Amino acid sequence: MSKNKSSFKLKNREKPQSQRQLKVSQLISSALIDCLRKGKRIDARLFSMPLTITKVNISNDLKIANCYFLPFNTSLSSDVILEALEESKYVIRQHITKEINMKYSPEIRFYHDEAFENLAEIENLFKKLSLN
C-alpha cells in the first residue's frame, strides 16, 4: 500500500486538538461573537445579522484560527457574508487580540460551514434509497 492512499483516512486529515488548542479556540470564539455583537467598525452588512460561529479550529502553533460561520434568516448569500467578514478581518483580529492574552495574535480565516447542507443532502439520499 502506498503512502498516498493512507493519507486519505479521516484520522490522518483531522487530528484531535490539544487542551491548549481547545482553550484558545473557545477564547477566540467568545471574543469573535462579542465583536460581531458589538459591531464596532465592522462592515455594515454584518450589522444585526443573525450569524452563528459554529466552530473555531486553531493550528498547532496557535497562529492560525479557522472560523466557521453559519448565517440564519438573511437574504445575503454566504459569499457576500464571507466577503464582509474578510473586509472586517483586521478589526476583528484587533478586538480578539485585546480580549485574549497571548504572545501572538492568530490570523483569522473565515469559512462557510457546510455541515448542515451536507447533512440535508445525505438525509435526502437515504430517503431516496428507502423509497426504492
The model's pLDDT over 61-110, given as tens digits with 9 standing for 90+, comes to 999 999 999 988 888 888 899 999 999 999 999 999 998 888 888 999 99
Neighbours of 39 (CB within 10 A): 14
Domains and CATH numbers, the chain: 15-131 (3.30.300.20)
pLDDT at 8: 47
pLDDT at 1: 43
Lookup: cell for 103: 504572545
High-pLDDT (> 90) share of the chain, %: 42
CA distances from 83 to 16, 50, 87, 88, 113 (A): 29, 16, 6, 9, 15
pLDDT at 6: 47
Reported confidence tier of residue 27, pLDDT bands at 50, 70, 90: very high
